[in-house]
Amino acid sequence: MHKPITLITGASSGIGVELARIFARNGFALALTARRVERLNALADEIEAMRQPRPLVISADLTLSGATRSVADALNAAGVEPQYVVNNAGFGLVGQASNLDRAEQLQIIDVNARALTELSLAFIDSLERHKGGILNVGSVAGFLPGPGSAVYYASKAYVLSFSEALYAELKPRGIRVTVLCPGPVPTEFAERAGVKDKIGPGALTQTAATVAEAGYRGFMEGHRVVVPGFGNRVVMVLARILPRRIVLGLVSRRQSKRASTAERA
């Protein structure tokens, strides 16, 4: 049997970095994957300096169809297998879907939905052997329609639905599944998306460290869905009870402001 590790995607910045630190502090051996290997190595150095085992660093571009196979091969070559899979990698774009680059929007689906699905399903046997689980990073956006960021919001709705279904399917096998749905978080994600103003209202915005801590705690406690912050939980409830046309209007106005700011920058 290979040694158990925690595989974390998108571990080069933001929530992914904070999740890696938390898992390491709690004694889990790690495998970190992202495109920016220099950042992964810097994080591995930091974790090693904490007197924890140095994480395995795997370079992977999850927009590519063969990425999951490459990650699995790297794990196997190192003699390890996942006990936990943390699907944190993801990105979005702000603007009208008809105006944004089509190839980039398809890459959102590749990373946020396809790669997440592949990685969630690729290691079921080892997750069961080690009584582990899957932590998928979604978004409060998954509860909402997303005019002005249509593909991103739709991808996070997929993550939410898929994760909840896996929770029900895999629970009898002793595999926990949690979807973490944060609100606005000031990370490089916003810059990549084209957001130049404040990432979100102050009452909803939380740090990456706070979100990661809530996600880790909820995951280990076996929660199905974790929405950090009271304000974001209110948004989730309102999204479910308000008429859809009202929610569409509210999101559309917010995203239009973001798009106009990005265009002026």
Q: Are the C-beta atoms of 178 and 215 separated by less than 8 Å? A: yes
- List, by residue number, the catalytic residues: 152
- Look at the block and give the residue holding tokens 């509210």: 250
Beta strand residue intervals within the chain, DSSP E = 3-9, 30-34, 56-59, 80-87, 133-137, 176-180, 225-226
d(C-alpha 237, C-alpha 210), whole Å: 21
95 CB-near residues (< 8 Å, 6+ apart)? 148, 149, 194, 259, 262
Q: Are the C-beta atoms of 157 and 111 separated by less than 8 Å? A: no
- Look at the block and give the residue holding tokens 């950090």: 228
Q: Are the C-beta atoms of 104 and 127 separated by less than 8 Å? A: no
SS3 letters for 91-107? CCCCCCCCCCCHHHHHH
Q: Which is it for the CA torsion 77, 79, 85, 91, positive or negative?
A: negative
Going from the C-alpha of 134 to that of each of 126, 170, 211, 231, 252, the distances in angstroms are 12, 10, 17, 26, 32
